[in-house]
A and B are shown apart, each in its own frame.
Chain A
Amino acid sequence: MGKRLLSLLMASAALGGFAEAKTVIHVMHQGDPGWVATYGDVAKRFEAANPDVDIELIYAPHDAYNEKFSAAVMAKQLPDIMELDAPFLANYVWSGYLQPIKPLIDQDVLDDMTESNIAQGTYPADKDLYAVGLTDSSVVLYGNRKYLDAIGARIPKGVDDAWTREEFEGYLEKLSKLDGVKWPIDTFRGYGIKTEWITYAYGPILQSAGCDLIDRETWKSVGTLDSDACVEAMTMMQTWVKNGWVVPQSSGTNQFFAEGHPAALAMGGHWFYAEAAASMKDDVVVMPLPKFGPQGASPNGTWIWGITTASENPEVAGKFISFMLKDKQFRDYARDDSAYPGLKSFAADSPLYDTGGPMAVAFEQASKTAVARPPHPAYPIITSAFMGAVDEIFNGGDVKAALSAAAEKIDEDIEDNDGYPPFDEQQ
């Protein structure tokens, strides 16, 4: 009797176990409350459509995301799916944390990707796709219509029509003398040096001026980041700061639409439009980034989704990513949040970025002037060295010395890692 009862208990436990055996997919992500709720909702909808799968969301705050990722690596607790900042993709792939995603994602999603979306998810060493996203990003020049009219500034119609450096600096000078303008421009120094902002937004100024953070063929920074063109470009920015034209870091990131509108221009991300338009209505003018040299340049890249090599169920993970990127409610939330389209079908559904839309110029930049941040495994050191140099320069440091020190630091890291093979073979 006792044995029979024991067998019965074991059998029922085993049956119960089989009944509850679900595939669990861990998804690590960041985001604000709206996005956190949206990810939660899409996970519930996926679970409803796939009753044999459990989606477990792991939230990590934006400012501590890299630390959380490092801890997950060390603890061997990498999730199946991770949200990652596009410029860090090369480092993650080189380190062996991400797997090629093409075979795992629905073909219609892959066919739907914009060129800059493909670029942000591609590892240049093997040209394979490792991550995909619904969105991309850009930076534009916002202007206060009243101030621009007061100085008689030309309003560019599109990217090909962007202000030249001479026009831009001439307008800054005129704006600095205009009543009501405390600072001619906000370059969002308030974001500080702990975010990607400086490399993301100021890097294109160097590229437009004819130089770069690193030579993208030899992968050497000395001779490029501290070249005459880069020194000239950073000296130009330092002069804006010295002239008192730039909103200081201590004054936050709202001076464009703060009471009295003390900043006349703002070199801000696409996400800034929602805040600025809500406060200033029709007084907001959206313009392309100025040309600081022979060609225009603008940033791209945002947080995208990859599948880790630790995933035991990559097919299910891919299925979830495809489901999420096609989910209507997910897209509706992104559209209402003025998210920058990274899929063609999403672009068609985003009137903000469509031809004639207030942010059309931002979308135009994606195909004409977007330059990705250096897609190299040394990117974490490239960005931290450059941000340190910019901070020093803005605080009155010697431009050439600061850029040379940063370039040397970058090259040293690459040498210490034997050129991050196979990147060394690309020379």
Chain B
Amino acid sequence: MSDLVLSTAQLEVKRAPSGIGSLRIVQTACILVIALVIVSPLLMLFVASLKDDRFQILADMGSFRAFWVSDPTLSNFMEVGNFSGQLAFGRYLMNSLIILAGTVGFGLVVNSMAGFVLAWGSLRGRALILSLVIALYVIPQESIIMPLVIMVSRAGITDTFAVQIVPWVASPLYIYLFYQFFAQLPKELFEAAQIDGASVFRIYRSIFLPLSLPALATVSILMGIEAWNQYLWPILVTQTDYARPIAVAIATFFGQDSIYWDRAMAASVLMMIPILALYIAFQRWFVSSFVGSAVKG
């Protein structure tokens, strides 16, 4: 009997690793397939940007040739990457970078300050203000866009960088994100600094802000993507190419009669690079922010 038990146990020991092994292969295969599905549009975009015939790009779509280029050329990039002329995409790219830097830079300061005050400030009716901030989040941007257009035109700031930065600096979502992060930090930190005589602003700047790298990274990335992809707003509030971002410039390639896929793809690749760089720069803290929020009780 004992021999039988022993032999069964040995069998189980042998089977277990092989079962896990095949499961891992299946898992890996699934991950690879999913990764391929996710990456394939980007790959198609990049490959198409290296083709100089827009009709060929159209003809190749829907077949495996969409992922292959026999005579790669950088002519599309040369054409859209210039800084002068009627279609100065280099200029538009710079405009987008200025808008991105302005929105994220001011946004981090304003939203983190608001979040900190809501978490630790001695305001009366803090809970009510917080509820209002959350309530604001559910109002769709589309419903306020026309009144906002009237406001900025009356303020005389249309066709400027400011009109594309200022309205989007304060955001209920990011205020709430900062609030949530600051509120989770230990109360002792705040009290110890107070005992040492630090002002509320000093506590925010010297203690809480340096500890909030994951929140700063998360907001930077989300806010950056939002600012980078703004399309309708710049169309409505800008008249000339002085402050127009690249997303609007790319729309030029989608004409009434034809779509210039070759140049649109090259411009899209160029447009992708800065936001990808932002993500890579902040990725470590971005991920840790999500992991942190998931494991905290």
Partners in one complex: yes
B231 surroundings in chain A (CB, below 8 A):
64
> Do residues B86 and A40 form an inter-chain contact, with CB atoms below 8 A?
yes
A75 surroundings in chain B (CB, below 8 A):
149-150, 153, 158
Please report the C-alpha to C-alpha distance between residue A252 and residue B235 in the assembled complex, in whole angstroms: 27
From A31, A33, A77, A254, give the contact of B61 (CB < 8 A).
Answer: A254
> Do residues B257 and A259 form an inter-chain contact, with CB atoms below 8 A?
no
Q: Chain A, interface size: which category?
A: 35 or more
From A31, A67, A257, give the contact of B55 (CB < 8 A).
Answer: A257
B208 surroundings in chain A (CB, below 8 A):
none
Listed stretches A99-107, A271-279, A286-294, A363-371; interface member: A271-279
Q: Kindly identify, within residues 96 to 117 of chain B, every residue whose CB is under 8 Å from any CB belonging to chain A.
A: none
B2 surroundings in chain A (CB, below 8 A):
none
Q: Check: B256 CB closer than 8 A to any chain A CB.
A: yes
> Do residues B236 and A68 form an inter-chain contact, with CB atoms below 8 A?
yes
> A32 and B62 in contact (CB under 8 A), knowing A71-B149, A271-B257?
no
B232 surroundings in chain A (CB, below 8 A):
64, 67
Listed stretches A53-61, A166-174, A230-238; interface member: A53-61
From A60, A63, A257, give the contact of B59 (CB < 8 A).
Answer: A257
Convert B148-168 into 0s and 1s, putting 1 for each residue whose CB lies closer than 8 angstroms to a CB of A.
011001000010000000000
From A26, A61, A257, give the contact of B239 (CB < 8 A).
Answer: A26
Query: Shortest distance in angstroms between B247's beta carbon and chain A's nearest beta carbon?
Result: 10
> Do residues A62 and B62 form an inter-chain contact, with CB atoms below 8 A?
no
From B153, B239, B257, give the contact of A58 (CB < 8 A).
Answer: B239
Convert A225-254 into 0s and 1s, putting 1 for each residue whose CB lies closer than 8 angstroms to a CB of B.
000000000000000000000000001101
Q: Check: B32 CB closer than 8 A to any chain A CB.
A: no
Q: Check: A70 CB closer than 8 A to any chain B CB.
A: yes
Total B residues in contact with A, Cβ cutoff 8 Å: 35
Q: Kindly identify, within residues 62 to 111 of chain A, every residue whose CB is under 8 Å from any CB belonging to chain B.
A: 62-64, 67-68, 70-71, 74-77
> Do residues B252 and A32 form an inter-chain contact, with CB atoms below 8 A?
yes
From A37, A60, A259, A275, give the contact of B87 (CB < 8 A).
Answer: A37
Q: Kindly identify, within residues 241 to 267 of chain B, every residue whose CB is under 8 Å from any CB belonging to chain A.
A: 241, 248, 251-258, 260, 263
Q: Check: B146 CB closer than 8 A to any chain A CB.
A: yes
Please report the C-alpha to C-alpha distance between residue A259 and residue B232 in the assembled complex, in whole angstroms: 36
> Do residues A33 and B251 form an inter-chain contact, with CB atoms below 8 A?
no
> Do residues B235 and A68 form an inter-chain contact, with CB atoms below 8 A?
yes
> A33 and B263 in contact (CB under 8 A), knowing A257-B55, A275-B55?
yes
Please report the C-alpha to C-alpha distance between residue A40 and residue B85 in the assembled complex, in whole angstroms: 10
Q: Check: B240 CB closer than 8 A to any chain A CB.
A: yes
Query: Shortest distance in angstroms between A138's beta carbon and chain B's nearest beta carbon?
Result: 13
B258 surroundings in chain A (CB, below 8 A):
32, 271, 274-275
Q: Check: A269 CB closer than 8 A to any chain B CB.
A: yes
> Do residues A61 and B256 form an inter-chain contact, with CB atoms below 8 A?
no
Convert A165-200 into 0s and 1s, putting 1 for each residue whose CB lies closer than 8 angstroms to a CB of B.
000000000000000000000000000000000000
> Do residues A62 and B153 form an inter-chain contact, with CB atoms below 8 A?
no
Q: Check: B58 CB closer than 8 A to any chain A CB.
A: yes
From A37, A68, A74, A259, give the contact of B63 (CB < 8 A).
Answer: A259
Please report the C-alpha to C-alpha distance between residue A403 and residue B284 in the assembled complex, in whole angstroms: 55
B60 surroundings in chain A (CB, below 8 A):
259
Please report the C-alpha to C-alpha distance between residue A257 and residue B239 in the assembled complex, in whole angstroms: 38
Convert A18-31 into 0s and 1s, putting 1 for each residue whose CB lies closer than 8 angstroms to a CB of B.
00000000100011
> Do residues A252 and B256 form an inter-chain contact, with CB atoms below 8 A?
no
- Nearest-CB residue, chain A, relative to B263: A33
- Nearest-CB residue, chain B, relative to A279: B55
> Do residues A62 and B55 form an inter-chain contact, with CB atoms below 8 A?
no
> A278 and B248 in contact (CB under 8 A), knowing A58-B239, A74-B146, A259-B63?
no
> A64 and B235 in contact (CB under 8 A), knowing A32-B252, A32-B255?
yes
Q: Check: A330 CB closer than 8 A to any chain B CB.
A: no
Query: Shortest distance in angstroms between A122's beta carbon and chain B's nearest beta carbon?
Result: 22
Q: Check: A258 CB closer than 8 A to any chain B CB.
A: yes
Query: Shortest distance in angstroms between B76's beta carbon and chain A's nearest beta carbon?
Result: 12
Q: What are 17 A-B pairs at a CB distance below 8 A?
A: A26-B239, A32-B255, A33-B255, A40-B86, A62-B251, A62-B255, A62-B256, A67-B232, A67-B235, A67-B236, A71-B149, A74-B146, A74-B150, A77-B158, A252-B61, A258-B59, A259-B63
B residues sitting closer than 8 Å to A (CB atoms) are 55, 58-63, 65, 85-87, 146, 149-150, 153, 158, 231-232, 235-237, 239-241, 248, 251-258, 260, 263
